[in-house]
Structure 1
């Protein structure tokens, strides 16, 4: 495992800097310009779209699709990921997380709009799709689409779910009953069993569960953060000062690049909001909407919700406490220590409960994406026996992840996530013109007082080459 970890570290060093840093910021800035700053110019429109009912009875609404993607985005990364970024990268990591989210919002719009344009219709009239589908249809390359689907399956079923399981169990490390040789495996077994029971109920059940759990846990967590921040409001100006001064301390950044605020902020921001890596489009394609741009706007909002709201709440909750983020407190312990300054022992319990709720929704939401991409590779929904077998394997990986080393699970996830982004970003760069045309077609109809309806020929596409929008 040490040798494997060493290899992963070397690859990550090259993958994130300079390759992914340039790709993420470059593609995001390009689409920000091409869409005329869609992140801000269409923010108000997003709220209206979120309130819309699905186009047909029993269909998946924009809000439900948002909750599935948010179930994956809003997870342990919002607590442990932010804590890790602060403890290993310093105050400036918060700034770089904001940058990834703000610029990445444009990339999120493009990839989710493309997923809608190229989505498929099943026998019951429901829609499905994702990056694998727009890569095959738009770029005429099924081999590349299969490679992407495999990278997603590996990232979510192995990397992200092992990491989520570890992060959940790590929040119990401060309790007297915790035995590092036994407790992680017990918690891992409980998580594996609960996840298996849930995912064996199928994708629709996953949607219903996440629709109820995600808003509840998000609101409670943000309220607790606000109480902490308001109590320590006098510390906020100095925190902003440290965030910006540390973010632009280029001597420190380039002196220790791998652990710098820039790299830690980019990694943890990307892990948390997933903008541009090609995950959310799998949920976006399932929404029943009259125009592809609607779901692009909704998924763009998910990035804002995840990073600008929830990750920032976590960062300021920790930094306002007076507890300095240091490597020794890396992970859940830092946020638990910070919260305990106001809430005492309840702070530890609250973070443990939050991580269980956030983490469980992540485990479940992640496997919804895995389902979609296995079906793509197989060209149809696999047999029930096959589904049960691979879901049991996914549950076993959750059990294994809970007992691993913190550095290994984070670095493995970074590698697998980076591979997804490395494939998806160039693909949406090539196909992005279609999504941009969709946006302008949408805004044109809205200005005319219409409920936008997508007609492929209006943006210069041949609808005979599309499946759902014929």
Structure 2
């Protein structure tokens, strides 16, 4: 436990404290020190891809996506899988927590992190495409950081079957996703108990049964996510537009509050500027997952005409997660009178805000949408796990099935009780994944950048 706590503190604790005016300090964790400079570096190296190629991201998303053959998934389906994992509980309760701790200004810093993170997402997704390989079990392709780490450290023709760092990444991912499974179960059972007074045991049994039917079938996961993810995202987005429409007169004041508190004199004098910046930055990094190496596990599975295309799709995924879904949660919160939410936190705070805007329907809608967000995340992480299980244990159905059963067991345990150790285990897992993934991104980035140049020179010129 002492070793585990030390790793947790190293990854997530503030290892550098920068003094700010007003007596505040800006605490920087190892992950912030890695991901923010990486985002800046890749944004410059891609010649400000998030701004320059945003229209191309939309065009690639809207074009017809065909699978050239076999049982692979399309580029758009890979985006849907990664969006299912990005868009989870963090987009609801996490955003609420960031605003509660850092104020409205935290939203601005979430947006900044998303703009930087989309360049990192492009690099890792393009590399996943460049180093993908055939999947003999599920058909189509597989890959991700474990596979491009392998190619970075194991020379072609070597007798070594596995790289140490690639194996550590794969193991960290499997640990992280077990932790997320427990969190998912707990989030869903709590929401349904609050909204419908359904005992956790009953809602958890139904949840695990439905999940088992889907994940234990060979090709059901992507088909279900194709249905769930667009529907849940559209419902949440349009409901937020409805709420904004009813409070249109307050919108200028809300945006004014966001920008004022992001740089405001009151925050500096009051010693709260560091909390504003870091709550927004940490929430943005945790939510969009850029640099953690999760999304490339889906990106590698895409059967797509050019590697850079999948990179652009995954870069857009960061926008969808933070600039759309997280902003929806922020608007719902900031359009609610502060006196109605004072003293509340987490799910209670979000349901109070939705109840203010939509009455009893808002409380019920929050429970249902959280169920969809969390359940799709669970399905998505098990899709990610396929390639990592195969890298560690080889191509066999025994190891694939055993990991799925372990995740289902964690889902069941989480539905009945919350164990802080397991929550922290997930945080440590994603932190270690990020460290191992970034070790590969910098030396391999020139290959992704070369793919981008080729796409812009050849593929885009033909459009």
Residues 98-152 of structure 1, C-alpha deviations (whole Å, 9 max, x = no match): 1221100000000000000011124597221111001111343711000001111
Matched residue of 1:174: which SS? helix
2:357 aligns to what?
342
1:311 aligns to what?
326
TM-score norm. by structure 1 comes to: 0.86
Output the CA distance in 2 between the equivalents of 1:329 and 1:6.
31
Match for residue 170 of structure 1 among 178, 190, 194: 190
Output the CA distance in 1 between the equivalents of 2:134 and 2:403.
25
Matched residue of 1:201: which SS? coil
Output the CA distance in 1 between the equivalents of 2:461 and 2:58.
19
Matched residue of 2:303: which SS? coil
Instruction: Rate the CA distance shift 1:3–1:448 in 2: closer, same or farther, 3 A.
Output: closer
Match for residue 150 of structure 1 among 147, 171, 179: 171
Output the CA distance in 2 between the equivalents of 1:435 and 1:44.
20
Cα distance, 1:256 vs structure 2: 9.3
Output the CA distance in 2 between the equivalents of 1:161 and 1:256.
34
Aligned: 1:121 with 2:142: no
Q: Greater CA deviation, 104-113 or 91-100?
A: 91-100
Match for residue 97 of structure 2 among 62, 67, 84: 84
1:40 aligns to what?
51
Aligned: 1:389 with 2:402: yes
1:460 aligns to what?
none
Cα distance, 1:405 vs structure 2: 4.3
Aligned: 1:191 with 2:207: yes
Matched residue of 1:60: which SS? coil
Preserved contact between residue 233 and residue 325 of structure 2 (Cα < 8 Å):
yes
Preserved contact between residue 157 and residue 367 of structure 1 (Cα < 8 Å):
no
TM-score norm. by structure 2 comes to: 0.87
Output the CA distance in 1 between the equivalents of 2:3 and 2:126.
41
Aligned: 1:134 with 2:145: no
Instruction: Rate the CA distance shift 1:10–1:434 in 2: closer, same or farther, 3 A.
Output: closer
1:106 aligns to what?
119
Matched residue of 2:172: which SS? helix
Instruction: Rate the CA distance shift 1:340–1:255 in 2: closer, same or farther, 3 A.
Output: closer
Residues 440-468 of structure 1, C-alpha deviations (whole Å, 9 max, x = no match): 11100035316xxxxxxxxxxxxxxxxxx
Aligned: 1:232 with 2:247: yes
Cα distance, 1:7 vs structure 2: 8.2
Matched residue of 2:29: which SS? helix
Preserved contact between residue 340 and residue 348 of structure 1 (Cα < 8 Å):
yes
2:86 aligns to what?
73
Output the CA distance in 2 between the equivalents of 1:441 and 1:244.
39
Mark the runs of 5 or more structure 1 residues left unpaired by the alignment.
451-470
Match for residue 181 of structure 2 among 152, 161, 166: 161
Instruction: Rate the CA distance shift 1:314–1:408 in 2: closer, same or farther, 3 A.
Output: farther
Matched residue of 2:13: which SS? helix
Cα distance, 1:2 vs structure 2: 12
Instruction: Rate the CA distance shift 1:407–1:92 in 2: closer, same or farther, 3 A.
Output: farther
Cα distance, 1:398 vs structure 2: 1.1
Cα distance, 1:242 vs structure 2: 2.4
1:200 aligns to what?
216
Preserved contact between residue 65 and residue 283 of structure 1 (Cα < 8 Å):
yes
Output the CA distance in 1 between the equivalents of 2:208 and 2:148.
33
Instruction: Rate the CA distance shift 1:253–1:326 in 2: closer, same or farther, 3 A.
Output: farther
Aligned: 1:243 with 2:258: yes
Output the CA distance in 1 between the equivalents of 2:10 and 2:339.
29
Matched residue of 1:17: which SS? strand
Cα distance, 1:157 vs structure 2: 2.0
Output the CA distance in 2 between the equivalents of 1:336 and 1:130.
37
1:463 aligns to what?
none
Matches within 5 A, 1:375-386: 375-380=390-395, 382-383=396-397, 385-386=398-399
2:458 aligns to what?
445
Instruction: Rate the CA distance shift 1:329–1:291 in 2: closer, same or farther, 3 A.
Output: same
Aligned: 1:332 with 2:352: no
Instruction: Rate the CA distance shift 1:241–1:2 in 2: closer, same or farther, 3 A.
Output: farther
Instruction: Rate the CA distance shift 1:288–1:226 in 2: closer, same or farther, 3 A.
Output: same
Preserved contact between residue 228 and residue 339 of structure 1 (Cα < 8 Å):
no
Q: Greater CA deviation, 276-285 or 191-200?
A: 191-200
Output the CA distance in 2 between the equivalents of 1:175 and 1:360.
17
Output the CA distance in 2 between the equivalents of 1:409 and 1:312.
28
Q: Greater CA deviation, 51-60 or 144-153?
A: 51-60
Instruction: Rate the CA distance shift 1:447–1:348 in 2: closer, same or farther, 3 A.
Output: closer
Match for residue 212 of structure 1 among 208, 224, 227: 227
